[in-house]
Amino acid sequence: MKIALITGSLGLIGSESAEFFADQGFKIVGIDNDMRRYFFGKEASTAWNKKRLKNNIKDYIHNDIDIRNIAQLERVFKKYTKDISVVIHTAAQPSHDWAAKEPQTDFTINANGTLNLLELTRQHCPKAVFIFTSTNKVYGDRPNTLPLVEQKQRWDISSRHPFYNGIDESMSIDNSKHSLFGASKVAADILVQEYGRYFGMNTVSFRGGCLTGPHHSPAVLHGFLAYLMKCCLTKTPYTIFGYKGKQVRDNIHSHDLVTAFYAFYKNPRKGEVYNIGGGRENSCSIIEAISLCQKISGNKLNYRVVEKNRIGDHIWYITALKKFKSHYPAWRLKYDLEETLGQIYNNLIKRA
């Protein structure tokens, strides 16, 4: 019996992982206590996704556990031990704005929770592959030091610059402003690397760009494209923080990220790090994203731009995929930005 143990199993990436790995013949054991409701309010609750997973995945097993509670986690690991083939760790406090409100909550979930899972994996199923969803926020605001050029609808970089097709793993994570969220994710990211390099475990940190898809539970502080589409659909006013709305993100569909997870699972490495995202072809500024959302929804968005940006926010971030593609050349992006937004729109309509 192959078991995929998935933390944050009711979230965007966790639920996508659960369905995908179930289709590959894995028994799915989920861990999620709907902390998203605590972070962002009842509208961001992931409870709806539990029903969906139980309907869609035969014998899905759910555990309502806080990853800070090592005693409860250990009972799960002891139950399945070496049958656990892969641990997919997606549970997190995901907002750099929210982290400043409760720094200890943020750190203990993101850093201590990750340490709990790594250590329990080492003790009970050391041959399992450990996949961690890190973040591009580990680079702090260092991307903002790049020679950016203001264009009509976005900030961008010269086509002659080495990072034109995306930022690679050579960028330093030191001496920059990360936000407290970024700092807690740095701690977790380094721990994941260290358990791979020090203990010889098969571990990886995927430093994601903007992760998106139809199963997001959007909130003001997290879920950029899903929340933007929700505002278009419900005609809720939207606020852009700084940079004239020209700040750029690359966006990767949750399915494409999970197929990258699976590629790594099939041919794992020790203490690896990959930047992962949608690349230049799936990048957009906020105002470009608004235009797409308006086109798909047929509604005009009421939005305003305030001058003050979020602390540590990126002006421009596009992911270089060359390292991951060089290790896993068969992996491909399946969904483009407009198709992804269309799926988000359709799912919001369905859930309304």
103, 61 contact by CB (below 8 A): no
> Which residue ranges make up each domain of the chain?
3-351
Residue type, 342: G
pLDDT at 152 over 90: yes
Q: Cα-flanking dihedrals φ and ψ of residue 140, to 5°? A: 60, -145
pLDDT at 246 over 90: yes
270, 336 contact by CB (below 8 A): no
Reduce the DSSP state of residue 183 to 3 states and report it: helix
Model confidence band, residue 138 (pLDDT cutoffs 50, 70, 90): very high
80, 48 contact by CB (below 8 A): no
- Residue 350: Cβ-neighbour burial (10 angstroms; 0-12, 13-18, 19+): exposed
What pLDDT, on the 0 to 100 scale, is given for residue 216? Answer: 87
Beta-bridged to residue 135, according to DSSP, are 208
Q: Cα-flanking dihedrals φ and ψ of residue 212, to 5°? A: -150, 175
275, 166 contact by CB (below 8 A): yes
- pLDDT tens digits, residue range 192-211? 999 999 999 999 999 998 99
CA 26 to CA 188: how far, in whole Å? 26
Residues in contact with 45: Cβ distance below 8 Å, sequence separation at least 6, in sequence order = 34, 36, 37, 217
Burial 302-331 (b: 16+ CB within 10 A, else e): ebeeeeebeebbbbbbbbbbebbbeebeeb
Reduce the DSSP state of residue 2 to 3 states and report it: coil
- pLDDT tens digits, residue range 85-101? 999 999 999 998 899 99
What pLDDT, on the 0 to 100 scale, is given for residue 96? Answer: 86
| pTM of this structure | 0.96
Domain 3-351, classified CATH 3.40.50.720, yes or no: yes
Model confidence band, residue 310 (pLDDT cutoffs 50, 70, 90): confident
The DSSP result for 34-48, as a single string, is: -HHHHHH-GGG--HH
For the chain, the distance separating the N- and C-terminal CA atoms, rounded to the nearest angstrom, is 38
What pLDDT, on the 0 to 100 scale, is given for residue 1? Answer: 84
